Structures are given as C-alpha cells and as structure tokens.
Amino acid sequence: MTVGCKDPKTGKMMKQSVRVSNPTLNFINVPIVRDPKLIPRGLPRNKHLKIESNGGGHLVREARVSTLLDSMRASSPARARPASAATRAASLDDEQKSWIQRHPSALSMFEQITRASVGKKIVMFLDYDGTLSPIVEDPDRAFMSDEMREAVRDTASFFPTAIVSGRCRDKVYSFVKLTELYYAGSHGMDIKGPPPGSRCNGNRMNNGESVLCQPASEFLPMIDEVYKTLVESTKSIPGAKVETNKFCLSVHFRCVDEKSWDDLAKQVKLVLSEYPKLKLTYGRKVLEIRPTIEWDKGKALEFLLEALGYANSNDDVLPIYIGDDRTDEDAFKVLRERGQGLGILVSKVPKETNASYSLQEPSEVMSFLRRLAEWKRKSLRASL
C-alpha cells in the first residue's frame, strides 16, 4: 500500500510504499529465549516453534499460540514458579550474572561508549514508559520527574534527541513538555520534529521546517471506530481500560482479575474479527491494536536518522536507543543490522534482546543521560 509522508529534505508530501503484513491473529511474534529457564510461563515449549537467524547471530522465534489468553499469560507472568526460595535465588543469580556479561551496564561501560563516539554525532532515541517514567497502574499518571526532564533537556542541548513511544504523540508530549525534541508517537506512526524557531541543537531540518511522517493516516477513521466499539464491549470487565493512541489502541489489563482475562481476550478478538486490516500484538499487561502496515519503532529510527541527514552508510553518526519493551526491540534490531550505534535495554531481569547494553531502571537512565551531557560539556570546554 502507499502512504503519505513529508519529504525530510524538501518538506513536500510524498508517497511511500509500505508492505502490509499478514494479520492472522493466532500468530504472534515473541523474542527467542535460548535458555529454557527463561521461557515465560504459559508459552508452549515444544511445539509450533520456528527459529530463524536474523543475520546478526541473534535469533527470533515465532510461536503459534493456541489462544490469545496463552500469549497474555506468557507476556504477563503473575507469579513465580514453584521452587524453594534458596534454589530460585541461586538460579536467578546465575542467570543475572550470565546476562549482565552479555549485556553490560551502560554506566559501567561509559568510557567505552564515549570512545566509540569520537568523531561521530550522537543522536539519542528514548522510549518513554519504563524508560523515562516508572511503570504505574494508571497509564494516565505515568509522570516524569522534574530531575529526569532536566536530564533530557541537558542531553538535547548537545545531541539531537527523539522520544519514541507507543503512546499518542500529544499524550507523550504532555508528559515530557520539551519543545526542542522530536516526538515519534503511536509506535513511530506519528513523527513530528521541533517547530520552526524552537531552540534545538543541530537537529533542525535544512529547510527549517518541522519533519512530519504519518504513514498510517488512512487508518484513523477505522481506529476511532474500533476504539468506540472496544470501550463499549469491554466496559463490563472490571479494570479493563482501552486507551487510544491515535494511530493504534491499547487494551490494558493490569487491573483486570486474571479470571477475567479470557473474557477480555474473547471480546477483543470478536471485535477485531471484523477488521482484517488491523493486527493484534501484546506487551506486558497490554494488548496493542495496530494497522497491518510494516512500520514500527525501528522504521521510525531510520526515518529520523535520514531526516537528520544520516543515510544508511554514513559513518559519522552514533545513534543510541534506550528502551524497555518488546516494541523497542525493532529499533535495537535496526541498529544491529546497520552495524551502527548501540541499543540499551532497561530491565532488572534477564531478557533476550538485540540491545548491547543494559540499565536497570529509569533512575539509571537519568544517571546515564546526565553523565553523557557532562562528558560532552567537558569535551567542548577542553577543545576551546
């Protein structure tokens, strides 16, 4: 299909081809887990598994889950597996050590990261929920601290900086409140740059116009219709919350009793059966409904790099992407495939990931951003 995007160089609207994927509801992508101990509970372990190499030595797995309920349980483990406390602690400790060796802390590897950036322009990409703000029960209250906002502002004063979120762009802007950033909302399906005249560092378009890309705009009426239908059909399930993110929808079930998850899954599948052009994916305690176009956070990262003048083969840029969720893996994978830049996964627990480094929680993200800005400040002073 063809979608409309604003050309980053001329500012004119242009047509862009986007491949449409198969929207079969029963096929859901999950990250490959090489260590059987790390396979999420509820995921079938010995059937319907397909393992592929993605060229970078990392693997992806596609699992045919028998029901949507299976995938909800798999992505949202509620309880620890039965085991003695001591056995489990020892096992987790080993897993943690092994994982940290493969994905070292971006703070402990800070010198190595800054050495890799010599002669290159760092471009910073930041997820929002779980990266800049803590994960909270009520998604409308995922506020960012003033300290974090200051760290992001400081970072953006030295490096072009983009927020890449599954949320609606206006919503994530209402949390971040920094005009000098790029915002890619709706999993990258709604990208906008700083308005002309705003203060930003080296990230202004050559023509002075704000970059804009909305590859799923033709889906807006359909998404709006499904939002209204889902609100109505799920209102009898206590705790279910349908959130519109403009170009995609989220059905949160973190406040729904597990006994009602099956009801919720049936309602969502029933509604979506009428809309073959929409697909269903999932994250932790959330179902995501998105257009079937092949556009994700990885595509948004590529679009923004190109908009900033860094083409595929350009060696002068070091993109750094920090995120905590499955949807951020699309961006980590793009960086691996480009052999350029680095991905940092925010997680306290071992997860299979295409990221190179890790940070444990948003407070560590803040420390990393502060340190990066301070390092740049000192480098600039030293070069005077």
Binding residues (CB under 5 A) for Mg ion: these are 127, 129-130, 324-325
- What is the C-alpha to C-alpha distance for residues 176 and 163, in angstroms, rounded to an integer? 9
Letter for the amino acid at 211?
Answer: V
Pick between residue 127 and residue 364 the one whose CB is nearest to Mg ion.
127
Please count the other Cβ atoms lying within 10 Å of the Cβ belonging to residue 142: 19
Minimum Å distance from CB 133 to Mg ion? Answer: 9
- What is the C-alpha to C-alpha distance for residues 81 and 314, in angstroms, rounded to an integer? 47
Minimum Å distance from CB 214 to Mg ion? Answer: 21
Minimum Å distance from CB 145 to Mg ion? Answer: 16
Pick between residue 272 and residue 296 the one whose CB is nearest to Mg ion.
296
- What is the C-alpha to C-alpha distance for residues 164 and 167, in angstroms, rounded to an integer? 9
Pick between residue 127 and residue 330 the one whose CB is nearest to Mg ion.
127
Minimum Å distance from CB 249 to Mg ion? Answer: 17
Pick between residue 130 and residue 160 the one whose CB is nearest to Mg ion.
130
Minimum Å distance from CB 129 to Mg ion? Answer: 4
Minimum Å distance from CB 250 to Mg ion? Answer: 12
- What is the C-alpha to C-alpha distance for residues 73 and 69, in angstroms, rounded to an integer? 6
Pick between residue 3 and residue 142 the one whose CB is nearest to Mg ion.
142
Letter for the amino acid at 310?
Answer: Y
Pick between residue 61 and residue 297 the one whose CB is nearest to Mg ion.
297
How distant is the alpha carbon of residue 121 from its chain centre? 22
Pick between residue 129 and residue 288 the one whose CB is nearest to Mg ion.
129
Minimum Å distance from CB 2 to Mg ion? Answer: 30
Minimum Å distance from CB 170 to Mg ion? Answer: 18
Pick between residue 127 and residue 210 the one whose CB is nearest to Mg ion.
127
Pick between residue 302 and residue 324 the one whose CB is nearest to Mg ion.
324
Minimum Å distance from CB 118 to Mg ion? Answer: 30
- What is the C-alpha to C-alpha distance for residues 273 and 256, in angstroms, rounded to an integer? 23
